[in-house]
């Protein structure tokens, strides 16, 4: 790797994977002084803050959508929804809330999102298209921001 590639790799580890400079130094074999200089010169801290805000915003939107879907499922009698399935959805929502409250990582967000999509696809295949539309609307919303 050349210097630019090392700089970008170190930045990704710091901003997106929440690695410390010490961890990055060990992983990439770059001195702490160099990493500290890059961090300050290229304002990685600001990048990290922006990234974390975006993740939190995404989680808030997702939590709202899950809440709306839960409310709809609880009210409807069209689908025979077991108490156990509603409980699973509520646990998923609570998990999402817990992730949002903590310093969430994108990896955790993606896991919860995938679990939610899998759950709906398996338990309510007739709602899969609706979920796909909601998710597409969600990503369109994010893209417009």
Considering the domain architecture, whether residues 89 and 29 belong to the same structural domain is answered as: no
For the chain, what is the domain count?
A: 2
Residue 47 in domain: no
Considering the domain architecture, whether residues 8 and 56 belong to the same structural domain is answered as: no
Between these two residues, 85 and 145, which has the higher pLDDT value?
A: 85
Asked whether 28 and 10 are in contact (CB, 8 A), the reply is yes
Considering the domain architecture, whether residues 74 and 125 belong to the same structural domain is answered as: yes
The CA distance from 87 to 127, in Å, is 18
Q: For the whole prediction, is pTM greater than 0.75?
A: no
What's the confidence (pLDDT) of residue 65?
A: 78
pLDDT by residue (tens digit) across 16-30? 888 888 889 999 999
What's the confidence (pLDDT) of residue 35?
A: 93
Considering the domain architecture, whether residues 64 and 110 belong to the same structural domain is answered as: yes
Characterize 10-38 residue by residue with b for buried, 16 or more Cβ atoms within 10 angstroms of its Cβ, and e for exposed.
bbebbbbeebebeebbeebebeeebbeeb
pLDDT by residue (tens digit) across 64-113? 877 787 777 767 655 566 777 777 777 777 777 776 666 556 566 666 66
The CA distance from 10 to 25, in Å, is 8
Range of the domain at 108: 52-144
Statement: residue 137 has pLDDT above 80: no
Q: Residues near 63 by Cβ (< 8 Å), separated by ≥ 6?
A: 93, 96, 97, 100
């Amino acid at each position: 790797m050349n210097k630019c590639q090392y700089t970008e790799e170190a930045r990704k580890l710091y901003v997106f994977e929440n690695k410390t400079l010490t961890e990055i130094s060990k992983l990439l074999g770059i001195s702490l002084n160099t990493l500290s200089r890059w961090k300050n010169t290229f304002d990685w801290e600001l990048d990290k803050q922006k990234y974390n805000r975006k993740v939190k915003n995404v989680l808030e939107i997702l939590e709202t959508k899950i809440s709306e879907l839960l409310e709809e499922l609880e009210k409807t009698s069209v689908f025979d929804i077991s108490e156990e399935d509603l409980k699973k959805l509520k646990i998923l929502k609570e998990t999402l809330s817990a992730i949002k409250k903590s310093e969430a990582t994108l990896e955790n967000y993606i896991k919860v999102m995938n679990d939610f999509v899998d759950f709906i696809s398996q338990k309510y295949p007739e709602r899969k298209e609706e979920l796909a539309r909601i998710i597409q609307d969600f990503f369109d919303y994010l893209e417009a921001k």
